[in-house]
């Protein structure tokens, strides 16, 4: 028996179609219902479905009036505010192509992105780092906010397979790539409703991530809006103890976060029963079974996990309607076709191989921007390779076995060690450097730098150097001076031996 699990035909997206129109269609049904609440400040900032739709279309008018044309790419350098989803959906509504970025990226990192993407414009919050030598049009946050009072545009409907937006993902080459998604990507998220989050129109979902994180955008905003529910986002993101109070005080029924947030809440907050909460959702990286157990004992509510990637969002998950083993990340969602493969195709059941999803999946990306050949390298027949190892049981449950390459995960973000190494190799006193991810205690993994130099360097100075060149989630936690990097016969760093070296010296 081969490791292939087919959960039936995928839902076919209707045509003509527009992602933003689909996300905001609830405005015609319950215009005054709260679509979004930003909480934790002096007063909640509440956006009804109709207000949300109106502002999206008004900003769309302003973007076109600024000289942008359908098909133009715009880079979003916006912070943790409602301006991010408004601008993202406004661009898509009128046929522009937004590409979000993390506000944590430095000006140096952003300059590298601009050289590859060559956007027609940048939407810029002045509090977010950005290069000064920008050649394209820059639309400031103040100008964006003034656009909210303009007449509304109309949704640009068309082929659901056409380009809607891009998102950055770290490639194994060390250079971030833009994953290009079609308008149908939001239609494919319908498969997550029954297979993962089980949202209904009476739910209030609180997501603990920043507005400009794609996990927040999808699970925290678009999924609730597509279901007619209310999305809730905290104004402050680093107040773990306060987050628990918000869950209790604002009648939150579903809570979504990355495993790191659950870990902090379990170890640092006064966890208690949450009677209004139905369940929690976890994605971004593997959730430790022990962490799930601690959370469920304290709150009385389960966490449902999902597995996916930037190229296809989540497509394997657990949910209230299924029972999965503790080591499993879940089942392929209804409408998905998933396999575990080697370089020839699907392998025998229960054997370890690479997790793959059908290239015909409605949620799979169109391709990589300016990197057509990379898509071909990720395909084996019908199957798109995730880069993650796993095993499939006869029931279809997938057990996650780790990355096939050296990619690292921090805070739910995938990070290439080469990208971090490239930034640190320019340090004048470092002669060679290698970066890997290490488990320093059970269920706690951090990015560690191993470097060679004439002598050990000042760690605060190294951290300051990294902070100027890398987003915070990419910055190493530990720096280890080493006599020489372990190299293989082909002159490639042996990262496994770096991990052995660390274990032998602590």
User: Does residue 432 carry a pLDDT above 70?
Assistant: yes
Residue 413 — very low, low, confident or very high, per pLDDT cuts 50/70/90?
Answer: confident
User: Does residue 140 carry a pLDDT above 80?
Assistant: yes
What pLDDT sits at residue 506?
64
Closest CA to 78 of 168, 144, 133: 144
What pLDDT sits at residue 372?
81
What pLDDT sits at residue 172?
53
Class of domain 416-505: alpha beta
Q: Minimum mean pLDDT among 15-19, 271-275, 442-446, 452-456: which range?
A: 442-446
Query: CA-CA distance, 6 to 432, in Å (whole number)?
Result: 47
Residue 500 — very low, low, confident or very high, per pLDDT cuts 50/70/90?
Answer: confident
Give me the mean pLDDT over the 264-273 stretch.
Answer: 80
**CA distances in angstroms from 20 to 17, 32, 202, 291, listed in the order given:** 9, 18, 22, 36
For residues 124 and 272, the model is more confident at: 124
Give me the mean pLDDT over the 381-389 stretch.
Answer: 93
Residue 88 — very low, low, confident or very high, per pLDDT cuts 50/70/90?
Answer: very high
DSSP result, 255-311? EEE-HHHHHHHHHHS-----TT--EEEE-SSPPPHHHHHHHHHHHS--EEEEEEETT
Residue 5 — very low, low, confident or very high, per pLDDT cuts 50/70/90?
Answer: very high
User: Does residue 403 carry a pLDDT above 90?
Assistant: no
Per domain, the residue ranges of the chain are 18-157, 416-505
Give me the mean pLDDT over the 268-288 stretch.
Answer: 87
User: Does residue 315 carry a pLDDT above 90?
Assistant: yes
Measured in degrees and rounded to the nearest 5, phi and psi for residue 432 equal: -160, 155
* Cα angle: 50, vertex 52, 55; to 5 degrees: 105
Return the CATH architecture of domain 18-157.
3-Layer(aba) Sandwich (3.40)
Query: CA-CA distance, 270 to 387, in Å (whole number)?
Result: 38
User: Does residue 496 carry a pLDDT above 80?
Assistant: no
What pLDDT sits at residue 269?
66
The pLDDT mean for the chain works out to 92
pTM: 0.87
What pLDDT sits at residue 491?
53
Residue 492 — very low, low, confident or very high, per pLDDT cuts 50/70/90?
Answer: low
What pLDDT sits at residue 336?
96
């Amino acid at each position: 028996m081969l490791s292939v699990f087919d959960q039936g035909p995928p839902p076919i997206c209707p045509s003509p179609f527009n992602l933003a129109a689909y996300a905001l269609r609830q405005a015609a049904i319950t215009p005054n219902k709260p679509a979004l609440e930003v909480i934790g400040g002096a007063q909640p900032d509440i956006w009804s479905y109709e207000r949300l739709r109106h502002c999206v279309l008004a900003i769309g008018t302003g973007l076109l009036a600024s000289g942008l044309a359908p098909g133009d790419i715009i880079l979003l350098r916006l912070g943790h505010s409602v301006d991010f989803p408004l601008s993202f959906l406004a661009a898509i509504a009128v046929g522009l192509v937004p590409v979000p970025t993390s506000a944590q990226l430095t000006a140096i990192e952003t300059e590298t992105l601009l050289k590859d993407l060559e956007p027609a414009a940048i939407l810029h919050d002045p509090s977010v780092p950005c290069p000064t030598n920008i050649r394209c049009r820059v639309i400031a946050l103040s100008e964006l906010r003034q656009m909210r009072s303009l007449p509304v545009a109309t949704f640009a409907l068309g082929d659901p397979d056409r380009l809607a937006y891009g998102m950055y993902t770290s490639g194994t080459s060390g250079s971030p790539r833009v994953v290009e998604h079609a308008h149908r990507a939001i239609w494919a998220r319908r498969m997550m409703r029954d297979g993962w989050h089980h949202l209904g129109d009476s739910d209030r979902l609180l997501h603990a991530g920043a507005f400009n994180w794609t996990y927040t955008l999808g699970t925290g905003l678009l999924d609730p809006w597509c279901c007619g529910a209310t999305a809730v986002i905290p104004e402050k993101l680093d107040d773990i103890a306060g987050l628990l109070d918000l869950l209790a005080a604002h009648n939150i029924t579903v809570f979504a976060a990355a495993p790191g947030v659950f870990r902090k809440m379990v170890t640092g907050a006064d966890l208690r029963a949450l009677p209004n909460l139905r369940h929690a959702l976890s994605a971004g990286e593997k959730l430790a079974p022990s962490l799930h157990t601690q959370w469920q004992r304290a709150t009385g509510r389960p966490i449902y996990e999902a597995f996916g990637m930037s190229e296809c969002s989540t497509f394997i998950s657990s949910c209230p309607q299924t029972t999965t083993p503790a080591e499993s990340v879940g089942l392929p969602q209804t409408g998905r076709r998933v396999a575990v493969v080697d370089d020839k195709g699907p392998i025998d059941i229960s054997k370890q191989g690479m997790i793959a999803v059908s290239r015909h999946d409605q949620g799979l990306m169109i391709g990589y921007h300016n990197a057509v050949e990379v898509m071909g390298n990720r395909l084996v027949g019908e199957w798109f390779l995730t880069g993650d190892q796993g095993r499939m049981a006869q029931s279809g449950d997938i057990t996650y076995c780790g990355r096939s390459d050296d990619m690292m995960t921090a805070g739910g973000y995938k990070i290439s060690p080469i990208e971090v190494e490239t930034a640190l190799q320019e340090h004048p006193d470092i002669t060679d450097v290698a970066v890997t991810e290490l488990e320093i205690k059970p269920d706690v993994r951090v990015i560690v730098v191993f470097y060679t130099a004439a002598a050990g360097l000042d760690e605060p100075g190294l951290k300051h150097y990294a902070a100027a060149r890398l987003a915070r989630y990419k910055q190493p936690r530990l720096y280890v001076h080493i006599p020489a990097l372990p190299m293989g016969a082909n002159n490639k760093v042996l990262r496994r031996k770096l991990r052995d070296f660390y274990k032998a010296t602590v």
